[in-house]
């Protein structure tokens, strides 16, 4: 039995969330902007690391987060947004073949491949920038949308292909849910920013394939990897960061929030989205949460046992957002206990009170380790964890901030 009102209704908790969001901005703002293009990867203390590659998804995520800063009225956020938008157009865009390079250095494009994952975040960047009133947002949305429709979208399965060479020749038959999940996030944001219903239709199509068909068949765990015909590939072993073997509980939590947002945006027509959200969350917590020391395992084997026992910061961030959406959109007040548990773990183990920012990875003993991530390269997940509980759950974060900003 809960001992009192939900945390998100308490002024002190809301002030704490705002303070944590402010601390994240303060950690990334001073040293992240690379005047030569893109953004530096920061070390544990918030200083630029020596890496020279600027990754598309990080540039675009910074555009999204800077747009949030603009909407919040944060001084300096507009400069970050302008720089991110310029970097996407100037350094990531392929002027010969169209689309967006995966990374660049001071010498020019580094990884010239065209990945659905990165293009999803370009669409999110454009949509968030449009809500924040950026003059280049409409052009960016139009450009990346044309590329997504012409090159990535596959009307048969109703989802997005994964990867191409710079000249748009495909180099694998791999299909992945991770890119399609973030595409769903971006499509909803684009729908809100433009009012164009095709974005919403495509988001519902992707969710139907990944959740209604595959996750439901897998006992409400989200299969990550597929062959070209969208048959689950349980033998695939790819990139341990973006394509790890097995199930990833954090993605089930992320889909929980996105499914409820999609259910709401679609006028609550597709009730299976609400069912999926409740079931995904329950399964992710039951199998993914370590009941002893706490935290979500990074991956599970296909039999449900922990595969990679390390705790990454982003799954608990997604758990926080998922619990908030379940409480306020699906009418599940019992998740309040989960919400508190997730924040207690994050505050104790991930928030770095000494240097700022969030630690990105802990081992099974909950000791910080530099394995998949070196330093603190990303503000995106942690910032949203701090801000999502402060707003309504009827749309994306940028949309809800903008709606509350109207006098």
Catalytic (active-site) positions: 251, 381
Q: Token pair for residue 139?
A: 């052009």
C-beta separation of 188 from 255 below 8 A = no
User: Around Cβ 396, how many Cβ atoms within 10 Å?
Assistant: 27
Q: Measured between alpha carbons, how far is 181 from 160 in angstroms, rounded to an integer?
A: 10
Sign of CA dihedral 85, 90, 95, 100: negative
Residue 312 sits at the vertex; the CA angle it makes with 309 and 316, to the nearest 5 degrees, is 105
Measured CA to CA, the distance from residue 17 to residue 22 in angstroms comes to: 9
CA 88 to CA 59: how far, in whole Å? 7
b/e per residue 241-268 (b: at least 16 CB within 10 A):
eebbbbbbbbbbbbbbbbbbbbbbbbee
Q: Which residues contact 187 (CB under 8 A, 6 or more apart)?
A: 123, 199, 200, 202, 203, 206
Q: Quick one: three-class SS letters along 317-382?
A: HHHHHHHHHHHHCCCCHHHHHHHHHHHHHHHHHHECCCCCCECCEECCCCCECCCCCCCECCCHHH
Q: Degrees (nearest 5) of the Cα angle 87, 45, 239?
A: 60
Q: Which two tokens stand for residue 106?
A: 């001071």
Helix (H, G, I), strand (E, B) or coil at 42: strand
CB 124 within 8 A of CB 182: yes
Exposure string over 186-224, b if 16+ CB within 10 A, otherwise e: bbbbbbbbbeeeebbebbbbbbbbbbbebbbeeebbbbb
């Amino acid at each position: 039995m809960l001992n009192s009102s939900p945390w998100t209704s308490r002024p002190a908790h809301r002030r704490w969330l705002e303070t944590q969001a402010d601390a994240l901005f303060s950690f990334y703002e001073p040293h992240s902007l690379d005047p030569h293009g893109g953004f530096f990867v920061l070390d544990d203390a918030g200083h630029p690391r020596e890496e020279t590659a600027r990754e598309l998804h990080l540039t675009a995520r910074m555009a999204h987060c800077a747009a949030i800063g603009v909407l919040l009225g944060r001084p300096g956020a507009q400069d970050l947004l302008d720089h991110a938008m310029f970097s996407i157009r100037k350094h990531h865009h392929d002027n010969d073949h169209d689309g967006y390079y995966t990374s660049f250095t001071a010498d020019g494009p580094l990884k010239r491949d065209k990945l659905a994952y990165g293009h999803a975040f370009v669409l999110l960047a454009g949509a968030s920038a449009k809500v924040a009133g950026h003059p280049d947002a409409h052009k960016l949305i139009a450009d990346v949308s044309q590329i997504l429709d012409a090159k990535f979208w596959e009307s048969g399965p109703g989802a997005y292909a994964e990867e191409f060479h710079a000249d748009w020749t495909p180099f694998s038959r791999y299909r992945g849910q991770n890119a399609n999940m973030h595409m769903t996030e971006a499509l909803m944001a684009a729908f809100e920013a433009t009012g164009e219903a095709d974005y919403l239709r495509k988001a519902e199509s992707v969710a139907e394939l990944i959740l209604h068909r595959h996750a439901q068949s897998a006992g409400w765990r989200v299969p990550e990897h597929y062959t070209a015909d969208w048959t689950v590939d349980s033998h695939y072993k790819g990139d341990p960061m973006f394509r790890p073997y097995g199930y990833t509980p954090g993605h089930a939590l992320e889909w929980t929030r996105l499914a409820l947002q999609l259910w709401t945006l679609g006028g609550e027509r597709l009730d299976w989205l609400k069912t999926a959200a409740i079931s995904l969350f329950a399964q992710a917590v039951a199998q993914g949460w370590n009941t002893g020391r706490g935290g979500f395992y990074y991956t599970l084997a296909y039999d449900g046992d922990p595969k990679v026992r390390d705790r990454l910061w982003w799954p608990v961030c997604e758990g926080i957002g998922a619990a908030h959406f379940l409480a306020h959109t699906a009418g599940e007040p019992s998740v309040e206990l989960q919400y508190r548990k997730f924040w207690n773990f994050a505050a104790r183990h991930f928030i770095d009170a000494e240097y700022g920012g969030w630690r990105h990875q802990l081992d099974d003993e909950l000791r910080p380790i530099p394995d998949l991530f070196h330093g603190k390269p990303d503000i995106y997940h942690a910032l949203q964890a701090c801000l999502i509980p402060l707003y309504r759950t009827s749309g994306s974060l940028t949309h809800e901030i903008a709606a509350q900003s109207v006098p």
